[in-house]
Amino acid sequence: MSSWSAMAQAPSTATLRGTIIDFKTKEPLAHVKVELRSLGREVITDDRGRFELTQLEPGVVEIAVSTVGYSLLGQKLTIPAGQTLDLELPLGPEAVKPSVVSALNAVTVTVKSTQSALPETPSLYAMNNTDLQNLSTVLANDPMRAMQTLPGVTANQDFYGQFAVRGAGPGHVGVVIDGVLLDNAFHGFTDKGDLGSVSIVNGSLVDSSSLFSGVAPARFGGRTGATVQVDTREGSRDDSFTRLDVDFLSASLTQEGPLGTEQRGSYIVSARKSYLDYLTSSLKVKSSTLGYSDLDVKLDYDLNPTNRVSLTTVFGTSQIAREANLQGNQSLGFLTDGSGQQDFTTLRWTSQVSPSTTSRAQFFWASDSQTQRNSAGDLLMGTDATQSGLSEELTHTLSDQQTLEAGWNVLQRQTSLKEQSIWNYNAGTLSTALVPVADFSKTAVESGVYLQDTAKMLEDRLKLKFGARWDYSSATGQSVFLPRVDASYALRPGTQVAAALGQTAQFPSMDNLYGKFGTPGLNAERATTAALSFDQDLGDRWRLHTELYERNESQRIYSPLTQFRLTSNGSYAIPTTGPVLTNGLSGYARGVEIMLQRQSANGFSGWLAVSRSQNRYATDTGMEFSGDNEQRTSITAYGSYRWSNTLSFSAVARYGSGTPIPGYLGASSGASSRGDGPVVMYAMSPSLNTQQASEYQRLDLRVNKVIYGPKYKLTLKAEIANVLNHDNWRYYDYIYPTPGTAQTVAISRNTTMPRLPTIGMSLEF
């Protein structure tokens, strides 16, 4: 009896051990703190991500797992008496909450020391959540700014989230969020050159982003340039979490958790608001304030084991206020007050029709409106554009070696625009009052279908993709057929060559057809892109990527009659309104990109990328010029290092040789000043884009420090933007002469981002 009593008072102790892994890459994570707070025990994982806690009292405990750059994980466990509990715990990158999978038996985790990171298709650059968080900047926490560090990207305007890729400007770069191609994915206003923009999606909701610089899969259409794919994340199904992010420009509050008691769904609600008054004054933006706010909602729910519905909704607003400081009549055309609204909703139904067939049906709706007024309250521009539609994607696995993809989409566009200008284009002079130059309201329907076959051969060493799209626009009555093909071949493990060839098309915008220079009957712009790449794994998660590309464009929409210019005989001409646009522009973009990259959840991760490119165009009259976004040399370097479970460092450096200053500009006569600041004077010229902006340089340094509490994780973020304080110039507010005066253009010029220390924080509880 006494022996039994002694055993009851001193039950057998237990052992808890396991592996902490990155829930996406499955890589073991070192420098992770594992705590049993109720027992006062903790341990740090080793280089293999392993931990072990011995001599534990049996019972229910809460395990807390945390490290810098990853989300806080808490899970209740029952520790059995006299047994060893072996766990595999997945840790999600910052703001991502994976479901926890545990087992009572031993789990073996095997990860190669060299992880292959060969792309599935040429010209694909993918970015994980950790890199997105580090590169989104403490300034704005904008995931689109993270994409600006990738090879082939040109983004020399620090205030703008938009960017060009391989010479194709923002208007020809498609942004696809949760499967929907958006005409405008940014808070901001029609480009004035001295404002700014930021993505409509809060960075804490983004799961991953990918850039297809060249030939994208057949499911993507609508643009002749690159495609950016952004996927938002699913909320936590295990428990409720709250996250407060305070960045230099904005603050956001995010709440997420499970839907229902059976963990069949999840929700995320995030609200963000900017506060820019201090920033605009410190960055020499005279009497100007740009603000934005948004509310993001993401719902996911499993109707049953084979059917899931997902809802993504964004409600956003933008505001601008500026002091009217131009002189004379031109102040009437100066934007001083503006408001805008950017909304987006998509509802998806994903169904596992059979073990080999998946269907995703989708409804989507998007709206983009803005109003711009001068200091007298007169309307300068008012736009209201909506798009709504349906799409269906089917994926059918024929075998382990072959997959078929097919889909269709139909959307309706409704666009209205009113625009007034201080220029009386018909009279060829400045007016004493605003003159209407555009007023339309139009509706059009666009539809498309695609098919793609992916096959693996030669023991999976050879991968082939054959695809095609067919798209139609009721606005032009035109149909386009767009074939695409890419292939990759593994010469040996870790060595791959790949090639791609494909056509893309972009229908004229409503403004092209009916706006100030509207020309009904325009055809779609076309592009044929070819790419050849070589990838080599170098060991210890290093990869070398080299790519040659060429994009040949035809039927680009353009007319010199839309710009102030000198004609070939030296006379001065102002724009001509009306149907002056043509499909008479052709051109090419060609270059080479080299990237050395290391991808790892432990130690150093990052890349060094060098791009050399050329982008030239020619009109049907024989005039040749450089593209607005041509940057001959671009260099980007990024690195991050998780030093411990509480400290990480990152740095990003960017260099660009400079882009043309757009316009028919000749030699500069030097800098002067006017009421609103410095300007540069240029003579008018019959040649386009001959003047070059100076080189772009920027170095940013960042440190993240984590402080842990009983139930919270506080991440302090400190960053210094433009450490070397390099002058990166921007040009805006072109003041053109009236006929009969000196043929000299005054262009405002000032620097963008000075050396700017910024701080922020994220509180997770």
Dump pLDDT digits (tens) for 354-394: 999 999 999 999 999 999 998 888 999 999 999 999 999 99
pLDDT band at 583; cut points 50, 70, 90:
very high
Which of 114-118, 254-258, 264-268, 718-722 is least confident?
A: 114-118
CATH code at 630? 2.40.170.20
Residue 47 has pLDDT above 50, yes or no: yes
Are 271 and 365 within one domain? yes
Look-up of token digits 């695609």: 450
Are 156 and 83 within one domain? no
Nearest to 121 by CA among 481, 535, 516: 535
CATH code at 47? 2.60.40.1120
Residue 284 has pLDDT above 70, yes or no: no
Nearest to 575 by CA among 588, 590, 560, 585: 560
Find out whether 524 and 555 touch, Cβ atoms under 8 Å: yes
Q: Is residue 594 part of a domain?
A: yes
Residue 526, C-beta contacts closer than 8 angstroms, at least 6 positions apart: 224, 480, 503, 504, 505, 553, 554, 555
Say what the pLDDT of residue 275 is: 79
Q: What is the mean pLDDT of the chain?
A: 87
Q: Is 43 helix (H, G, I), strand (E, B) or coil?
A: strand
DSSP for residue 325: -
Q: Is residue 178 part of a domain?
A: yes
Residue range 95-102: mean pLDDT, rounded:
54
> What is the percentage of the chain residues whose pLDDT exceeds 90?
58
Are 22 and 132 within one domain? no
Sign of CA dihedral 68, 142, 661, 568: positive
Residue 113 has pLDDT above 80, yes or no: no
Q: Is residue 457 part of a domain?
A: yes
Say what the pLDDT of residue 9 is: 39
Q: Is residue 96 part of a domain?
A: no
Domain boundary among 36, 71, 91: 91
End-to-end CA distance of the chain: 49
Q: Is residue 661 part of a domain?
A: yes
Residue 663 has pLDDT above 70, yes or no: yes
Are 82 and 130 within one domain? no
Tell me the C-alpha distance between 546 and 533, whole Å: 6
Q: Is residue 500 part of a domain?
A: yes
Say what the pLDDT of residue 125 is: 85
pLDDT band at 673; cut points 50, 70, 90:
low
Are 625 and 740 within one domain? yes
Domain boundary among 70, 91, 112: 91
Are 50 and 182 within one domain? no
**Looking at the 3D structure of the chain, how many domains does it have?**
2
Conformational region of residue 287, where left means phi above 0, alpha means psi within -120 to 50, and beta covers everything else: left
Q: Is residue 495 part of a domain?
A: yes
Are 484 and 586 within one domain? yes
Conformational region of residue 193, where left means phi above 0, alpha means psi within -120 to 50, and beta covers everything else: left
Are 312 and 384 within one domain? yes
Are 664 and 535 within one domain? yes
Q: Where are the alpha helices (DSSP H) in 141-293?
A: 143-146, 277-282
pLDDT band at 7; cut points 50, 70, 90:
very low
DSSP for residue 336: -
Residue range 444-472: mean pLDDT, rounded:
96
Are 193 and 78 within one domain? no
**pTM for the complete prediction?**
0.90
Please give the torsion angle defined by the CA atoms of residues 425, 426, 428 and 432, in that order, rounded to the nearest 10 degrees.
-70
Find out whether 529 and 549 touch, Cβ atoms under 8 Å: yes
Nearest to 672 by CA among 745, 566, 741: 745
Per-residue pLDDT of 141-192, as tens digits, reads: 888 988 999 999 999 988 888 999 999 999 999 999 999 999 999 988 776 6
Are 80 and 156 within one domain? no
Are 193 and 247 within one domain? yes
Q: Is residue 540 part of a domain?
A: yes
pLDDT band at 27; cut points 50, 70, 90:
confident
Q: Which domain holds residue 379?
A: 124-764
Residue 193 has pLDDT above 70, yes or no: no
Residue 305 has pLDDT above 60, yes or no: yes
Say what the pLDDT of residue 360 is: 96
Per-residue pLDDT of 200-228, as tens digits, reads: 988 888 888 899 998 899 999 999 999 99
